[in-house]
Chain A
């Protein structure tokens, strides 16, 4: 069974641009969560999608958005990039139940210049 796949692995953008990151969950998993990881703030929750609906949302500005498709694949978008958006963005999936572990992808390392 293939794991969680995130593309691209590395990305370099400049301030003001926008970026779209992609995540393909493990087959059969309907829940996809996104996290931002920075050295100063640690791992911060962005949002969770379940069956194409946003189920939970973290405390991030509206520049951060996401969506989920009918095949459970998910994308997140960041518009008007700022230097502080430089981070490792991690996607994680699970089948959708309550007491379940998350399966993480390897992440997308975004650098904003």
Chain B
């Protein structure tokens, strides 16, 4: 399967703590993206890391990518109650049709307790 698989499935932390979510995938990728989804709504893009990059930062987000292990991690520092959501990784891979396809897993459900 080309989809990303997030781990853990659920994570509960106190406000102010850091949250780390992991992603594994099985195919060669062009890039890997992380998305966030608030309950029952559409997904929102957080960050994109290319296959030749190892680490990327955006505000309180830090993403790492290890293509040799086919894995990525998302770190949210100093979490807030508003960070409560589901987080998905999406490997972007060459579908062979002149396009790149994103496939998603089941996500990590993060709960930040005030």
Contact = CB atoms under 8 A, between A and B. Distances in A.
Interface stretch (A13-21, A64-72, A75-83, A97-105): A97-105
Nearest to A35: B104
Q: State the majority secondary structure of interface residues on A.
A: strand
A50 B33 CA distance: 21
A109 B101 contact: no
Interface residues of A, number: 27
A43 B105 contact: yes
B104 A43 contact: yes
Interface string B91-110: 01001011111111111000
B54 interface: no
Contact of B92 (A35, A90, A99, A103): A99
A96 B100 CA distance: 9
B93 to A, nearest CB: 10
Contact of B45 (A33, A102, A107): A102
A105 B40 CA distance: 11
B109 to A, nearest CB: 11
Contact of A56 (B33, B95, B104, B107): B95
Contacts of B42: 4, 90, 92, 104-107
Contacts of A56: 95, 97, 99, 101
Contact of A48 (B30, B33, B45, B99): B99
Closest 8 CB pairs of A and B: A42-B106, A104-B42, A43-B104, A101-B45, A104-B43, A98-B100, A106-B42, A56-B95
Interface of B: 3, 30-31, 33, 35, 40-45, 48, 50, 88, 92, 95, 97-107
Interface of A: 4, 31, 33, 35, 41-45, 48, 50, 55-56, 88, 90, 92, 96, 98-99, 101-107, 109
Given A43-B104, A55-B97, A102-B33, 18 more contacts: A33-B102, A41-B106, A42-B105, A43-B43, A43-B105, A44-B104, A48-B101, A55-B95, A55-B98, A56-B97, A56-B101, A88-B40, A96-B99, A99-B48, A102-B43, A104-B35, A104-B43, A109-B40
